[in-house]
Structure formats: C-alpha cells, structure tokens
Amino acid sequence: MNSMARRLLKSVRHRQTAWLRSSPARSGKQHLGKLVLGIETSCDDTGAAVVDDAGRVLGEALHCQKEIHLQAGGIIPVVAQQLHRENIKQVVEEALSVSGVSVHQLAAIATTVKPGLALSLEVGLQYSLNLVSRYQKPFIPIHHMEAHALTVRLTQHLEFPFLVLLLSGGHCILAVAQGVSDFLLLGQSIDIAPGDMLDKVARRLSLRKHPECQSMAGGKAIEHLARGGSWQQLSFPLPMQQHRNCLFSFSGLQNLVNKAIVQKEREEGIEEGEILSCAQDIAAAAQHAVAVHIIQRTYRAMLFCIKNGILPSKSATLVVSGGVASNQYIRRGLQALADVNDFAFLCPPPRLCTDNGVMIAWNGIERLRAGVGVLRDTDGIRYQPKAPLGIDISKRVEEDSIRVPKLKKKIRWLAP
C-alpha cells in the first residue's frame, strides 16, 4: 500500500462506524422458509443481508466507503480492499443479528464472485468460504449484474422474459432476462460506463469545491447542478450514430465535454480547478447526451426484441437497475420511451439500485429455487474481475440494422 493510501485510511478510520447502516427485519422472528445470507464486496461497499424464500428481507447491513473515496477523487482498490477486510465481519454479524437468524439456520450463503475489483472480490469470497467450511453450508456464487437484473423480482411480481438495462459506475448493459441465469446480451459499453463518465466530468468541473455539491458523489453532483442549467446551451454529438447496434460508448463523449470545459475556462479566464459560471449548463448538456445515447440504444433493443419475438408484443417490460438508474432525468426519459412503445417500466427502489447485500441474497434465493449453481464443493471457486452476462447476441442485433425513429418525433423530451 502506498503512502497516499495509508494517509487516507488513517484520516478516516475513526469515523467508519458512522457509515454502517442496518435495517430491521420486515417480519416477525418465525422463519418457516429457506434462508440465504448474501454478501457483497464487488467494489467499494460492504453489504450483507438475510432474505427468505418468500422475499422478506429479515435483516441487512451496509458499510459505505463513499466519503473516503470522495476525498481521493476516485476509488483506490487497495484502500477499498483494506476497508472490506476491516468491516466485513461486523457487517455480516449485524445483518444476522438484526434478522434474528444464526448461520446454522441458513440454507445457503451467496456471495458476489464476479465481476468487480479483484482486491474487493477476494475479501468477500475468502470470508464466505471460511463460513461455508466452518458451518458446512452450500455456497452460491453470484454474478453481480445478474443480481442487479433480478432485484426487481424481489419487489414486483414479474415473470420472465423481460428487457433489462443495467446502468452503473462500472457497467452499461442491455440484456433479455429469460430466466434465472439465462440471459441474452444485446449490447454493452465498449469502453467506460455512464456513471464513470459522469463522475469524471464532475471531477474535471471541480464540483467538490462547489458549495452545493461538496458532499455529493460525482454523478449526483452532475444531476443536481443540471436541474439549474440548460442542455441546449451546448451541443455534444452523440456517439456511434453510424452503428445500428445496441453497443454503448462514453469515452469519446467525455473527451468532448472536457474540451468544452477547457474552452469555457479560456473564455472566462480561469484556471483548472476553479468553478465555471456555466457549470450548470455543462452538467445539463453532459447528462442529456448520456441520457439520449442510452435511450436510443434501448429503443433499438425494444424494436429488435419485438421483431424477433423475444419479448411478447403486448405485455413487454423494461427493467432499469444499477446506481445510475437513480438519476431521475435519465429515468424519466426511459419511462417516456417505455410509454411510447407500450412497455411496462419497472425500477427497484433507489436503495436497492446501488450495491447491497439484499440483491445478492435474493439472487441466492432465485438460484436455490431453480436449483442452479448451488455448490456443495467449493474447490476451484475463484473470483473473476471480468465476466460476461449471458449469451452475447450483439452481432445479431447489428445484422438486423434496425433504424431508430428520431426521438423528438416520438418522445416528448423533458427539459432539465
């Protein structure tokens, strides 16, 4: 661990316990069904929860590292790993304590093993395997993005198949959920994710120095400032317009936004690190461009699925999940798109859109019910920093070359 990481850890450790959030059980202490403990450490949050096979969250706990990484301007993997190590035992014990459940009562232990930060995944997997070995419990390895995709089935009655859009700081994925552990991948980002892009724009705008945004994560700061700005003041060409597929790209868009920031700094005669007077307009324009790119790709996915009979034409559903799904501007645009195409539109509650132990435990319940991926022998289990979701049919989408109607003619777009 380098000296910067050590200083960062030392400066914040005395405040860590303030970031432990636990939630009480939703029901009484009588547990008649099967129980699964879920453990999540794929990135910078340590989460654990106990969920039963009726979909009741009996107890959960979450240790958030956000404040630490905000100080550093981004996630430092070695710092995230160390904080996971220091807090995972407390988080798991808190979730079990709140639920009133002992490890002996569990039907299985489910843990994120892919994809994510290698150093973070290692902590959760090692801790879980120790529990599994000690208590002789079945182990259910979980794909982080599958868990995000299926979380909506915890809060809503939703049958397969459905179209799912996963938006986060690390991922941007369009897929069809055909069943538990049965996905068709329509498209994903070929470079960075939308959450990552918005965070980088926020850092380039130095929004940590903005009086309204000092305690906000980057994407949240962009959304907040965008409400007071006008996206029409700047024009950013959308990525990959010549490609009729469902792939995403945000790095080129980020570069265009950075160039616009440099130009505005010159015009205003200020140095990098100072706050631009037009920061709100830049935030609004960047957010709008991200939203339109996402909506166009999702529109093509809808048309592709209906054309090929992958989704029912009269009762199709679009599910949006992941941390960026909490962005209300992007969500409203996707809601409008769903309405125009007669799709039902569903999102998990905001607290379940970000990383948490509940979604991992629920994915464990889903797999336990389906009898898929429940292991008695954990020999050879490894974490996987990179892992695709389902069967990739993105080339088939591109071969169909579906033209998407102009959004302005089809959707009444909402101003920032």
* pLDDT at res. 345: 98
User: For position 66, what pLDDT does the model report?
Assistant: 76
User: Is residue 276 within 8 Å of 266, Cβ to Cβ?
Assistant: no
pTM > 0.85: yes or no: yes
Beta-ladder partners of 50: 37, 59
The reported pLDDT for the residue numbered 386 is 94
Contacts of 277 (CB under 8 A, 6+ apart): 268
Please give the pLDDT value at position 27: 46
Closest to 31 in 3D by CA, of 110, 101, 107 = 101
Sign of the alpha-carbon dihedral angle for 140, 143, 145, 150? negative
Which residues share a beta bridge with 110?
Answer: 38, 140
Per domain, the residue ranges of the chain are: 3-151+351-385, 183-347+392-410
d(CA 143, CA 140): 10
* Other beta carbons within 10 Å of 225: 25
What residues in the chain have per-residue pLDDT under 50? 13-19, 27-29, 414-416
Strand order in the sheet with 20-23: 20-23, 57-64, 45-52, 35-40, 108-114, 139-143
Q: How far apart are CA 213 and CA 225, in angstroms?
A: 8
**Residue 95 and residue 81 in contact, taking contact as beta carbons nearer than 8 Å:** no
The predicted structure's pLDDT at residue 187: 98
pLDDT of residue 325: 92
pLDDT of residue 8: 55
Q: Which helix (H) or strand (E) holds 53?
A: none
pLDDT of residue 303: 97
Determine whether domain 183-347+392-410 maps to CATH 3.30.420.40. yes
| Residues 142/363, Cβ–Cβ less than 8 Å | yes
Residue 401 has a pLDDT of 97
What is the assigned CATH class of domain 3-151+351-385? alpha beta
Strand ranges (DSSP E) for 65-181? 108-114, 139-143, 162-167, 172-179
